[in-house]
Structure 1
Amino acid sequence: MKESFVNIQNLTLKYQQKAVLKDLNWVINAGENYVLFGESGGGKTSLAKIIAGLQNGIGEVKINFDTNSYLPSEALFVESWYQFKNLEGVANFYYQQRYTCQQAKDTLTIHAELVYYGKEKGLNFDAVEPILNALNFSSFASSQLIELSSGEHKKLQLVKALWLKPQLLIIDQPYTGLDVASRKYLNILLDEVSKEGVQLILISNDSEYPNAINRFAELQNGQINVSDSKETSTISTVQILKEIPDFLKESPAYSSSDIVKMVNINISYGEKQVLKNINWEVKAGEKWLLQGHNGSGKSTLLSLINGDHPQSYANELYLFGNRRGSGESIWDIKQHIGLISPEFHWYFDANSTVWQSIASGFYDTIGLFQKLPYTKSQQVDELVEYFGLTSSKNELLSTLPLGKQRLVLLARTIIKNPELLILDEPCQGLDQQQTRQFNHFIDELCSNGMTLIYVGHFESQLPNCLEKRILLENGEIKAVEILNTKTRHCEVRSNFCTVLFK
């Protein structure tokens, strides 16, 4: 009888006396490629790290690598987030540093990072070029790591993994931050390495995956349920959608009917122009969908609105009725805005408690440095309860699963009922139920008159309230259009793919 490739027997993992994995058994045979899915916080990432030898559990985990294969006898785990350091080997970056880093070369370029990785792993550099081209990443060679968006960081992780081609490749949230075209070509690349002998475990609740996937494993209550189809999921889709807290049912107190006005905005880093002649207006109460391929300029555009980009002073930019640079501070701008983005999550102080993290949204600080008055404390408690975080409210943010961390920061984003809500890929890390609850929440908020700018690559994760769309391509506005709410998903998908695959 042929030996299995991965054999897990009686694996148990406890966290703070709570059993996450309970005498788990899982056998992966040669040629089996899995999607591992389940509710957020169920232990998927921990299980993957144990298989890759990055975390310890109680039980037996054995990988029988093929010693006759030319592929490395390695189980590579690709994290959902990319962790990088500066040239001095530390990672104490701050959020706005991404937009001011051109003044000093703080981190490696992508090219230098790949050269270092190739030498470390003994790889042929010529072999990485087709991967870079397929993921539309070649033009980023001279970009510093700190300049990259979350989707671009994900691409760098994927490029390195596909270049190495280990015998076992485990990817946590492979499609996070990737545009439509990049997801398509990633699946093609994963199919290709699978044919060469790489076995896959993709941790994902998404509905798309490569053709090579032939098995599905759902992690539920510490146990693995294996099937040939994801349709047999035992996760309940029934969820009671709560009524939003009363203090968020009031319309925001608008200081101006003009939220954002951009006139011929241009942003350049040296010879590289990131935004070109952008003209865009956002009126109070409007709900915008902002889309574009990875590297199209979305994050830079949002950084101008949020007051984080120093080049805003050199452009004709109006925020909340005032021209940028007319005497207002960055904090004057931020008091009008609630923001969530993958990059903000990266740099947030994970050593604050859940309660403190949400409360800090009143003051736009990374951490809570003053005692809240009674009314504000009550509002924090209401949001803690609404998002199902009551049992975790005194725990450190860093101890929570990624999905719950994101819910905490989403609660922080809307705690002050801001005039403008900026949601950049807000559902990253959320499971299907959490995504549904959050989008219901956004729809309810926006029905009360809140202004919204929403960035999302997955049509299935968009709220229903979106009314208009602005599409960027290579730093320019490709399209501005009204969305038909009844047929919106179909129209957006069609138009977006036409642009990307022309």
Structure 2
Amino acid sequence: MIELQHCAVSLAPDFTFGPVNAALTEGRHVAITGKNGSGKSALAAILAGEGEVVSGERRLTCKTGWVSTAQQQALIAQEKKKDDADILDVIPVPSTAREVILRQINMADCGEAFTLLTSGLRMVHFLDNAFLGLSTGETRKVLLVRTLLASPDVLVLDEPMDGLDTASCEFLHHHLQSIQHRCTIVMALNRLSEIPPFVRQLWLMQQGQLSWQSDGGGVEQSDLAHLKQLLHMENTSLTLPEKDETRYSPQMAEGENVLVKLVNGKVSYDNRTIFSGLNWQINRGEHWQVTGPNGSGKTCLLNMITGDDPHCYTNELTVFGYKRGSGESIWDIKQHIGLVSNSFHLQYRVNCSVLHVVLSGFYDSIGLYEQPDIRQKQLAREWLALAGMAHRADEPFQSLSFGDQRLLLILRAMVKHPTLLILDEPCNGLDEINRLKVLALLGIIAAGKESTLLYVNHHSEDKINGVELVLALGRHNQEAQA
């Protein structure tokens, strides 16, 4: 079906991957794993037919479908071009989720499958909403359904579960199981726990090369044990770098421990209520996990706290003693917050050095525009060393893999020991080693009580020790519980 022989492929103007050798045979489902930056996503893209071959040979005799963060970003960029149409004096008409899915798809041929997938992935309620107004998880669902409806011979999935709620992950697992006899499935995965039972072979990527393959007769526990050994998944004792004492805590009334307070909160878009009647309070030293299905308002709620969603001004919301809309500067809020999220990752497009990315966390900037002092440089290097990235301090941020970029942005958020550390699916894109390391780091921060953690994730295995309080957002109702 697909064969790569000493194949090097240009995937971007400044990025050529390979040469690499690999062969995919019909019906032999494969899971590609490896550390961040090892080449998992690049190999998946090449197998999907992406890029231009510059040397060697790529034999591709089948129809492929590809789902990845890169594809998701490209689809969003394509739709955003419509919003710029007013330059040509044309009134832009935003595409709905339904229209994006069915573009170049004949509904007459796939009506039953469309209903099955959109129902199973809990998409029915937003199919006629503007695509660009959807959450990260919802846009991932749109891309998944569009790709599955095209009925590819080879389905290449790069971290397909990232951004999906638990129920949607379970449905997707069951659906892939049901179609395994109709197409060959390739999955690039950071989490060994997400390898489905129908996978016949494991591929390990190391430094851009396919360094190890299991025998192809099915995945045994011995294969996973060997893979974990190759990935060096040993537990390491971790100690956090010190705080930069030049930073300060919010000036709040003596004895006041309330960091965030929302009274009867309500959010709606296009006559669609996301949540209402939400009463929630975060006290200093508490650690909260926010849960709920895609589209339940988790990211919106976090953006209200950071001041990045206008609903913060239409609600009775107090952050660090400031009543939102009372004349406070957005920087009065942001200087006390560390943030990691999918949307922030997409916004961080400045191609500064790895060290400068971490240093920018002291100044809440995208890129570094102030001169850090010697102490801050020392602390930033200590954070890089903690994550095993000290040797990459001078490398350009944009040259890193998605997973390495995400790890670096987590260090950026943590470098100033913020009063409130907001983490919206921080482990998306991280390999097993870095995921465990980040969770351990966050556990140490939670134990220290210096920073209050606010954490969103869809993976039950990504539990942070010390995060015991839960805000569960439903479709129209919420419940806070211990």
Q: Name whichever of 347-356 and 330-339 sits farther off.
A: 347-356
CA contact (8 A) 1:151 1:294 kept: yes
Structure 1, unmatched stretches of 5+, are 66-73, 93-103, 483-502
Determine if the alignment matches structure 1 residue 42 to structure 2 residue 38: yes
CA deviation vs aligned residue, 1:451-491 (integer Å, no higher than 9, x gap): 011111112222212121111111421x3322xxxxxxxxx
Q: Aligned letter for 2:103?
A: Y
The match for 2:97 among 110, 113, 116 is 110
Determine if the alignment matches structure 1 residue 243 to structure 2 residue 239: yes
SS at match of 1:118: coil
Q: Identity of aligned pairs, percent? A: 30
Q: Aligned letter for 2:327?
A: G
Which whole-Å CA distance do the structure 1 matches of 2:155 and 2:355 have between them? 37
Q: State the match for 2:69 in structure 1.
A: 80
Kindly report which structure 2 residues correspond to 1:61-72, keeping only aligned pairs within 5 A, or say none: 61-65=58-62
Q: State the match for 2:25 in structure 1.
A: 29
Q: State the match for 2:81 in structure 1.
A: 89
Post-superposition shift, 1:248?
Answer: 7.0
Q: State the match for 2:87 in structure 1.
A: none
Post-superposition shift, 1:414?
Answer: 1.6
Q: State the match for 1:454 in structure 2.
A: 455
Which whole-Å CA distance do the structure 1 matches of 2:15 and 2:100 have between them? 39
Post-superposition shift, 1:165?
Answer: 1.3
Q: Aligned letter for 2:67?
A: V
Which whole-Å CA distance do the structure 2 matches of 1:43 and 1:261 have between them? 44
Which whole-Å CA distance do the structure 1 matches of 2:260 and 2:319 have between them? 5
Change (3 A) 1:322 1:161: same
CA contact (8 A) 1:446 1:465 kept: yes
CA deviation vs aligned residue, 1:409-441 (integer Å, no higher than 9, x gap): 111112222110001110111111101111111
CA contact (8 A) 1:338 1:413 kept: yes
Q: State the match for 1:443 in structure 2.
A: 443
Change (3 A) 1:75 1:180: same
Which whole-Å CA distance do the structure 1 matches of 2:82 and 2:372 have between them? 34
Change (3 A) 1:333 1:57: same
Q: State the match for 2:129 in structure 1.
A: 143
CA contact (8 A) 2:335 2:363 kept: yes
SS at match of 2:364: coil
Change (3 A) 1:305 1:440: same
CA deviation vs aligned residue, 1:189-221 (integer Å, no higher than 9, x gap): 2223323x2111011132134443222222235
CA contact (8 A) 1:123 1:164 kept: no
Post-superposition shift, 1:158?
Answer: 0.6
Q: Name whichever of 163-172 and 360-369 sits farther off.
A: 360-369
Q: State the match for 1:390 in structure 2.
A: 390
Q: Aligned letter for 1:59?
A: G
Length-normalised TM-score, structure 2:
0.87
Post-superposition shift, 1:311?
Answer: 1.9
RMSD of Structure 2 on Structure 1 (CA): 2.8
Which whole-Å CA distance do the structure 1 matches of 2:8 and 2:311 have between them? 52
Q: State the match for 1:202 in structure 2.
A: 187
Post-superposition shift, 1:374?
Answer: 2.6
Q: Name whichever of 402-411 and 218-227 sits farther off.
A: 218-227
SS at match of 1:368: coil
Post-superposition shift, 1:86?
Answer: 5.9
CA contact (8 A) 2:49 2:60 kept: no
CA contact (8 A) 1:276 1:476 kept: yes
CA contact (8 A) 2:100 2:142 kept: no
Post-superposition shift, 1:32?
Answer: 0.9
Q: State the match for 1:465 in structure 2.
A: 466
Change (3 A) 1:19 1:342: closer
Change (3 A) 1:33 1:314: same
Which whole-Å CA distance do the structure 2 matches of 1:378 and 1:88 have between them? 41
SS at match of 1:421: strand
Determine if the alignment matches structure 1 residue 166 to structure 2 residue 152: yes
Change (3 A) 1:276 1:377: same
Q: State the match for 1:219 in structure 2.
A: 205
CA contact (8 A) 1:260 1:319 kept: yes
Which whole-Å CA distance do the structure 2 matches of 1:343 and 1:392 have between them? 24
CA deviation vs aligned residue, 1:105-141 (integer Å, no higher than 9, x gap): 784221221233426x996456422211111111111
Post-superposition shift, 1:237?
Answer: 1.2
Kindly report which structure 2 residues correspond to 1:408-487, keeping only aligned pairs within 5 A, or say none: 408-449=408-449, 450-477=451-478, 479-482=479-482
Which whole-Å CA distance do the structure 1 matches of 2:67 and 2:83 have between them? 19
Which whole-Å CA distance do the structure 1 matches of 2:131 and 2:392 have between them? 33
Change (3 A) 1:442 1:91: farther
SS at match of 1:447: helix
Q: State the match for 1:7 in structure 2.
A: 3
SS at match of 2:461: helix
Structure 2, unmatched stretches of 5+, are 85-90
Q: Aligned letter for 2:417?
A: N
Q: Aligned letter for 2:162?
A: T
CA deviation vs aligned residue, 1:19-61 (integer Å, no higher than 9, x gap): 9756x44332221111111111111111122222213364332
SS at match of 2:178: helix
Which whole-Å CA distance do the structure 2 matches of 1:122 and 1:168 have between them? 23
Which whole-Å CA distance do the structure 2 matches of 1:151 and 1:315 have between them? 25
